[in-house]
């Protein structure tokens, strides 16, 4: 009872205060409320500006740290007289004789998985290249007709990024600077948009699967004196025959390199993997040389790329050599030429993955696994009874030839077979097929 008596004055006092404030607010004029609203909005705008400035400070510190870390692990070195150019999040060596970078070095930080800045497409000359970088007219011309419409006259090559813009989507400044022409190289369109893009996506995919790490990456065209040039290019930029990347994950002690030809590559990406040591011998460059010798030697000797790939992609292989196949037999890369022809052909490849659906249908992917499949064999549930073995299990890892008509399933060449007679095991020792 004593406690209640003590609390009652406090309770009624609070109610009185709330009522008084409500009455006071009700008595405020519209002009007072408008002034109050403006003041609060001004405070909010001030807080937003402070937050923007703080975010910018943090970003600048991150960018400085990236450049510091690039120097700490060692910029590529070799016997070349190239100009070293530093930008916010990438450092490059500009080879004037080729009018492009000999190499571009950058870091893919863990921030890339949360970055949301989109393509800026603000291609422009690099003001830091003292001799002048390439320009738009090295890749195409633009004319504007009397109606104001633009007409593009291309030279047959894409402006291919060396350090990919998507690796910088965590920083608007870094992303924009990736569009300097010093970071461009003339790439065949399908190579740039498909094959090279697949390699770039590989490492970003690795970052999603391997959080809390960073990748140190050197990207380069393979330059030498006998390269052809883009003849209509005003600066006579050379056309590389090969491109390469050298990559290390120091935290998880992994290293790998890739060398790819400047063409559409129907072969699986995993085929182009090599050791960093071998890339050093090819280019005359020494990568990551500031690492401790034991760690550097370990990372640069690695040549098995499977740890970099998603589990489903690790068994991908190259299409069979068409010259080694029996007559009237074709590899998975050639299957697309027979889509919709209504002609029965034999397509050969290794069953790298299989799937048994909930409805009992069986799917066999030859040479490349889902979702990068290049040829799929379908055996529907109603036909599985025709097999005296389990195709889902027994054909995994086998190199087979399937005979039938090639169709198209969601953009992938495919074949539906109804009996085991349509499948033969391919013996690559004597180039014969066995029933």
Q: Which has the closest alpha carbon to 367: 330, 404, 406? A: 330
- Fold for 57-313, please state it: Extracellular Endonuclease; Chain A (3.40.570)
In this structure, of 141-145, 176-180, 255-259, the range with the lowest mean pLDDT score is: 141-145
pLDDT value at residue 31:
77
Percent of residues, the chain, with pLDDT higher than 70: 91
On the question of pLDDT at 120 being above 90, the answer is no
Rounded to 10°, the helix 293-301/276-283 angle is: 90
Q: Are 51 and 59 in contact (CB under 8 A)?
A: no
Per-residue pLDDT reduced to its tens digit, 2-36: 444 555 555 555 555 455 545 555 566 777 888 88
Average pLDDT over residues 248-268: 94
Range from 9-13, 114-118, 243-247, 297-301 carrying the lowest mean pLDDT: 9-13
Tokens 């001004």 found at: 42
Q: What is the pLDDT of residue 9?
A: 55
Cα–Cα distance, 161 to 83 (Å, whole number): 19
Q: Which residue has the higher pLDDT, 192 or 44?
A: 192
Whether pLDDT at 295 is above 70: yes
CA angle, 372 then 373 then 376, to 5°: 165
Predicted local confidence at residue 13, as pLDDT: 56
Predicted confidence (pLDDT) at residue 433 exceeds the cutoff of 50: no
pLDDT of residue 38: 86
Residues 56 and 173: their CA atoms lie apart, in Å, by 10
Q: How confident is the model at residue 369, as a pLDDT?
A: 84
Least confident of 4-13, 61-70, 190-199: 4-13
Q: Which residues contact 61 (CB under 8 A, 6 or more apart)?
A: none
Least confident of 94-98, 158-162, 316-320: 316-320
Is 432's pLDDT higher than 50? no
The pLDDT of residue 142 is 92
CA distance 348 to 386: 21
Query: CA-to-CA distance for 166 and 256, rounded, in angstroms?
Result: 20
E-state strands within 308-368: 329-331, 344-356, 362-366
Domain boundaries, the chain: 57-313, 322-434
Residue position matching structure tokens 């609060």? 40
Cα–Cα distance between 220 and 93 in angstroms, integer? 10
Mean of the per-residue pLDDT values of the chain? 90
Q: Confidence class of residue 434 from pLDDT cuts 50, 70 and 90?
A: very low
Q: Could you tell me the pLDDT band of residue 376, with boundaries at 50, 70 and 90?
A: very high
Residue 35: the pLDDT is 85
This prediction has a pTM of: 0.73
Please state which of the ranges 147-161, 273-287, 312-326 shows the lowest mean pLDDT.
Answer: 312-326
- The region of weakest confidence among 107-121, 189-203, 263-277, 379-393 is 107-121
pLDDT band at 51 (very low <50, low <70, confident <90, very high): confident
Residue 30, pLDDT score: 76
Question: Is the predicted pLDDT of residue 435 greater than 50, yes or no?
Answer: no
Express each pLDDT in 324-373 by its tens digit. 999 889 999 899 999 999 999 999 999 999 999 999 999 999 998 887 78
**Highest mean predicted confidence (pLDDT) among 147-156, 186-195, 265-274:** 186-195
pLDDT at site 119: 82
The pLDDT, as a whole number, for residue 148 is 82
pLDDT at position 5 = 53
Torsion of CA 392, 417, 336, 425, to 10 degrees: 60
CATH (one of 3.40.50.970, 2.40.50.140, 3.40.50.300, 3.10.20.600) for 322-434: 2.40.50.140
């Amino acid at each position: 009872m004593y406690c209640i008596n003590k609390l009652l004055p406090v309770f009624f006092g609070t109610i009185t205060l709330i009522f008084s404030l409500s009455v006071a607010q009700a008595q405020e004029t519209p002009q007072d409320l408008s002034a109050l609203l403006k003041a609060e909005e001004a405070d909010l705008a001030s807080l937003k500006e402070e937050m923007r400035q703080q975010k910018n400070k943090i970003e600048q510190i991150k960018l400085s740290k990236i450049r510091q870390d690039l120097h700490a692990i060692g910029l590529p070195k070799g016997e070349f007289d190239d100009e070293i150019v530093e930008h916010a999040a990438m450092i490059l060596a500009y080879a004037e004789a080729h009018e492009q970078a000999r190499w571009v070095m950058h870091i893919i930080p863990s921030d890339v998985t949360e970055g949301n800045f989109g393509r800026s497409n603000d291609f422009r000359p690099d003001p830091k290249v003292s001799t002048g970088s390439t320009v738009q007219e090295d890749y195409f011309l633009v004319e504007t007709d009397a109606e104001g419409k633009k007409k593009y006259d291309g030279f047959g090559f894409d402006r291919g990024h060396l350090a990919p813009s998507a690796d910088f989507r965590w920083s608007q400044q870094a992303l924009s600077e990736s569009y300097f022409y010093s970071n461009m190289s003339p790439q065949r369109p399908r190579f740039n948009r498909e094959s090279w893009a697949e390699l770039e996506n590989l490492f970003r995919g690795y970052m999603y699967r391997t959080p809390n790490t960073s990748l140190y990456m050197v990207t380069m065209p393979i330059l030498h004196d006998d390269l052809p040039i883009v003849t209509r290019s005003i600066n006579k930029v050379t056309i590389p025959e090969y491109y390469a990347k050298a990559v290390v994950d120091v935290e998880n002690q992994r290293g790998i390199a890739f060398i790819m030809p400047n063409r559409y590559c129907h072969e699986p990406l995993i085929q182009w993997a090599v050791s960093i040591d071998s890339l050093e011998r090819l280019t005359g460059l020494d990568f990551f040389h500031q690492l401790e010798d034991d760690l550097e030697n370990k990372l640069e000797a690695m040549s098995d790329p499977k740890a970099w790939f998603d589990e489903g992609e690790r068994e991908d292989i190259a299409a069979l050599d068409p010259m080694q196949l029996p007559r009237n037999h074709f590899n998975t890369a050639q299957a697309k030429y027979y889509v919709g022809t209504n002609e029965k052909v034999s397509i050969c490849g290794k069953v790298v993955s299989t799937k048994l659906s909930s409805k009992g249908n069986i799917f066999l992917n030859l040479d490349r696994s889902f979702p990068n499949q290049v040829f799929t064999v379908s055996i529907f549930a109603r036909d599985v009874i025709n097999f005296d073995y389990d195709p889902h299990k027994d054909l995994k890892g086998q190199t087979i030839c399937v005979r039938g008509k090639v169709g198209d399933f969601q953009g992938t060449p495919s074949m539906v077979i109804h009996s085991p007679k349509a499948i033969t095991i391919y013996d690559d020792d004597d180039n014969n097929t066995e029933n």
